[in-house]
Amino acid sequence: MGHDPKASQLDDAAGTLATVSVLRSRDGTLNRSEDVLAVEMPVALEYNGISHVVMLASPADLEDFALGFSLTEGIIGSPAECYGIEPEQRPDGRLVHIEIASGRFAALKERRRNLAGRTGCGLCGTEALDQVTRVVDPVAHRHPVRPASMTAGMRAMQALQTMQQQSGATHAAAWMNEAGEVVCVREDVGRHNALDKLIGALAAQATDFTRGSLLITSRASYEMVQKAAIMGIGAIAAISAPTSFAVQLAEQAGVTLLGFMRDASYVVYAHPERLQME
C-alpha cells in the first residue's frame, strides 16, 4: 500500500500547521485520511548581520521570539536596546534579522558560542561547567499567589491553544495577571521557544513581570525557571514535574514553583509562603 508522506501547508496565516496523508487504523482496518501536523522548521537568529543561533521552532510570532530570546539569554538588558526585528522567509526556514545596541553587540561577540539545537537541551553548545548557570537576582514578586486562580488559568490557557487543539504537538506558555486573567498565550513545538515568545510579547508591552504568574504546559526544567527568574517572574505553575536543578534555582531566586497543576490538585516545590488559600 502506497503512502505519500509529503505535507501541504494549511491556510493559516503564520504557516504553523500542515496536512499530511496518513493511513489510520480503526478496528484493524487501514483507511486513508488526512492529519494535521505542527510545522517545525529551522529559525536562525542573526544579530547585526552576524549569525548567532539556529533553533527548531514554529514559524509564528518570530518577532516575539527574537525579543524574548534576546532578553532571557542576556544578549540585551531591555527592549530599548533592540532597534529592530525583521523575519525573512527562506526556502529552508526563517532568518530573523535583529539589530541591537553596539555595546550589547560587542559583548555578544566576546561570548559567542555554538548554540545550535538549544530546543532539546539548555546546555547544548556550553563548553564548561561554569557556563551552565548564571547569577539570578532574587525576584521581587508583589502579590500573593492564589492556587485556585492558577488552576482556572490552566483551563483558560488550554482553551486558547489553537495549534495544540489541531495538531496535538505544541507547548504553550501563558501570562496570568494579578487579577487572575490569562491575558497572553504563545505556542511552539519547543517549550523554551513558547516561553521566549511569551516573554517577548509581554516585554514589548512593558509588562510588569512582578505582577503576574507564568503558566506552562510542560515540565519545569532548569532553563524554564531561569528564563522566568531573569525577567523577575516570581510564580510558575507547570502541568508536569520540575527537575531537581529547577527546584534548587527556584529556592535560590525566590520563585514560587508549583508542579502537576491539574484540576484542583498540585504540588508546591518552592516558596509556599507566598500562597494564599481560598
pLDDT in tens, 35-57: 999 999 999 999 999 999 999 99
Residue 195, C-alpha cell as written in the block: 516561553
**In whole angstroms, what is the distance from residue 48 CA to residue 101 CA?**
9
pLDDT reported for residue 131 = 55
Q: Is the pLDDT of residue 233 over 60?
A: yes
Q: Residues 158-168: what's their mean pLDDT? A: 93
Q: Which of 82, 121, 124, 184 is catalytic?
A: 121
Share of the chain above pLDDT 90, in %: 80
User: At residue 75, does pLDDT exceed 80?
Assistant: yes
3-state SS of the chain: helix, strand, coil percent to 5? 30, 35, 35
205 with 227: CB under 8 angstroms?
no
Candidate from 40-44, 102-106, 125-129, 186-190 with smallest mean pLDDT: 125-129
CATH 3.10.20.10 residue ranges in the chain?
41-131
State yes or no: pLDDT of 3 exceeds 60: no
pTM for this predicted structure: 0.89
C-alpha span between 271 and 53 (Å, rounded): 35
- Please, are residues 154 and 239 in contact by the beta-carbon 8 Å criterion? yes
244-253 vs 222-230: helix axis angle to the nearest 10?
A: 20
Four-way CATH pick for 41-131: 3.10.20.10, 3.40.640.10, 3.55.40.20, 3.40.190.10: 3.10.20.10
226 pLDDT exceeds 90? yes
Top-confidence residue, 271 or 2: 271
At 117 the pLDDT is 41
pLDDT attached to residue 134: 75
Residue of higher predicted confidence among 28 and 17:
17
Mean pLDDT computed over 69-76: 96
Q: Comparing 38-47, 74-83, 125-134, 135-144, which segment has the lowest mean pLDDT?
A: 125-134
- Residue 116 reports pLDDT greater than 50: no
Least confident range of 39-48, 105-114, 202-211, 256-265: 105-114
Active site residue 82: no
Specify the domain boundaries for CATH 3.40.140.10 within the chain. 147-274
- pLDDT band, residue 26 (cuts 50/70/90): confident
- The CATH architecture one would assign to domain 147-274 is 3-Layer(aba) Sandwich (3.40)
pLDDT category of residue 129 using cuts at 50, 70 and 90: low
Whether 63 shows a pLDDT value over 70: the answer reads: yes
Flag whether pLDDT at 277 surpasses 90. Answer: no
Name the CA radius of gyration of the chain, rounded: 20
Q: Which residue has the higher pLDDT, 112 or 77?
A: 77
Q: Would you say residue 23 has pLDDT above 90? A: yes
Give start and end residues of each alpha helix (H) in 129-263.
147-159, 162-167, 191-204, 222-230, 244-253
